[in-house]
Amino acid sequence: MNPRHLLFCSLAFAAACSRPSSDAGQPSAGALVGRGAQIYTQNCLSCHKENGTGVRNVYPSLAGSPAVIGDPAELARWVLSQKRPDSIPAGRYPTQMLPFAWMKDPDMAALLTYIRSNFGNAAPPVDAETVAQSR
């Protein structure tokens, strides 16, 4: 593991371990993104790579993807249950998204928020309620 990646993982882990802010019981934006980075590293990095570019013609890029920056409920359905968004044409990639329905709603929200705010993306965060409604 290169030192930059190790530093990033350490910072992400530290942010994930931080306590939620006391206002409204919601985690801070930094904690949410930190937790999302940790989940991404553990579950998504092998296919979508460290920089989110995926593998050409095998795994889609997350950078600038209409599915990632578009409707967060549609993205949640894809990651949770393999329901491919209309913005990603069927047959474009030979691989199928693994289902992550086992993931808890707050963790899925953190992951989706992370990918929507990294890799050059600047989409709004996703909350656990949106994930729950997408199941």
Percent helix / strand / coil, the chain, rounded to 5: 50, 0, 45
**Which pLDDT band holds residue 117 (cuts at 50, 70, 90)?**
very high
Q: What is the dihedral of CA 96, 74, 50, 52, to 10 degrees?
A: 90
The Cα–Cα gap between 7 and 129 comes to 32
pLDDT > 50? residue 14: no
For residue 29, the model assigns a pLDDT of 63
Pull the structure tokens for residue 35: 């937790």
Task: Give the range among 34-43, 81-90, 93-102 with minimum mean pLDDT.
Answer: 81-90
Q: Residue range 31-58: average pLDDT?
A: 92
pLDDT > 80? residue 31: no
Exposure string over 93-121, b if 16+ CB within 10 A, otherwise e: beeebeebeebebbbbbbbbbbbbbbbeb
Residue 33 has a CB neighbour count (10 Å cut-off) of 21
Task: Give the range among 16-25, 66-75, 80-89, 119-128 with minimum mean pLDDT.
Answer: 16-25
**Which pLDDT band holds residue 75 (cuts at 50, 70, 90)?**
very high
For residue 88, the model assigns a pLDDT of 73
pLDDT > 80? residue 18: no
CA distances from 101 to 5, 22, 59, 114, 127 (A): 28, 29, 20, 18, 16
Q: 10 Cβ partners below 8 Å, 6+ apart?
A: none
What are the structural domains, with CATH classification, of the chain? Answer: 3-134 (1.10.760.10)
